[in-house]
A and B are shown apart, each in its own frame.
Chain A
Amino acid sequence: DTAVSQTPKYLVTQMGNDKSIKCEQNLGHDTMYWYKQDSKKFLKIMFSYNNKELIINETVPNRFSPKSPDKAHLNLHINSLELGDSAVYFCASSWTENEKLFFGSGTQLSVL
């Protein structure tokens, strides 16, 4: 059983398109996150939800919109994709804030 699963694993798309990445955790955790890892392998927080409520919203373009339909799911929708959006996006979860994180295997997004 995969604890934190995200789909798709790979996403190749054209500039200007809209795409979504889905994430689900079966650990019963309250808090979920989206991190972005760029080409230099730097892992940076984008958003965090605690029990479906947005608690962290870093300086991210408005084209990125997270949605948490329930505490086990956190999806990321990206509008009008740009070349600079190419990166690996990781979903993660934790029991509460300030706890160790459990990461998904990542979604490699390539914008052409």
Chain B
Amino acid sequence: SQKIEQNSEALNIQEGKTATLTCNYTNYSPAYLQWYRQDPGRGPVFLLLIRENEKEKRKERLKVTFDTTLKQSLFHITASQPADSATYLCALDNGQAGTALIFGKGTTLSVSS
């Protein structure tokens, strides 16, 4: 069965460091991979989308890589700030009609000052 794993449930880092979150998947062929941020008591908010033929995508301090051979995506936040503290969700989409995003359980990032 399809499986998405985000490397750890929690990640603690110091302000200014780069946070790296991992998303691994098995038994799936995603056409797209998306990353979302979720704050407590709120709905997920879309951050970045990367396609299977793209290796890397950047947006301000965020960078996503996608390796379909390793079946893995890495999500980086550079120069992290306490305001980056949240849960980050990885989601896969096979691009076919009649299917929906499949989410990982998320990694909760805590950035301390």
Residues on A close to B: CB < 8 A?
4, 33, 35, 40-45, 48, 55-56, 90, 92, 97-98, 100-106
Contacts and interface: CB of A to CB of B under 8 A. Distances in A.
Contact of B106 (A41, A56, A90, A105): A41
**In which size bucket is the chain B interface?**
20 to 34
A25 to B, nearest CB: 12
Given A101-B46, A104-B43, A45 B32 contact: no
B61 interface: no
A43 B89 CA distance: 9
Contacts of B100: 33, 45, 48, 56, 97
Given A56-B98, A101-B36, 6 more contacts: A41-B105, A98-B95, A101-B46, A101-B101, A103-B44, A105-B43
Contact of A106 (B41, B89, B105): B41
A42 B106 CA distance: 8
Chain A contact surface mostly: strand
Interface string B30-50: 011010100001111110010
B33 to A, nearest CB: 11
B16 to A, nearest CB: 28
B32 A92 contact: no
A42 B103 contact: yes
A45 B34 CA distance: 15
A48 B97 CA distance: 11
Contacts of A90: 43-44
Q: Which 6 A-B residue pairs are closest in the complex by CB-CB distance?
A: A103-B43, A45-B100, A43-B103, A100-B46, A103-B44, A105-B43
B110 to A, nearest CB: 15
Contact of B87 (A41, A44, A55): A41
B93 interface: yes
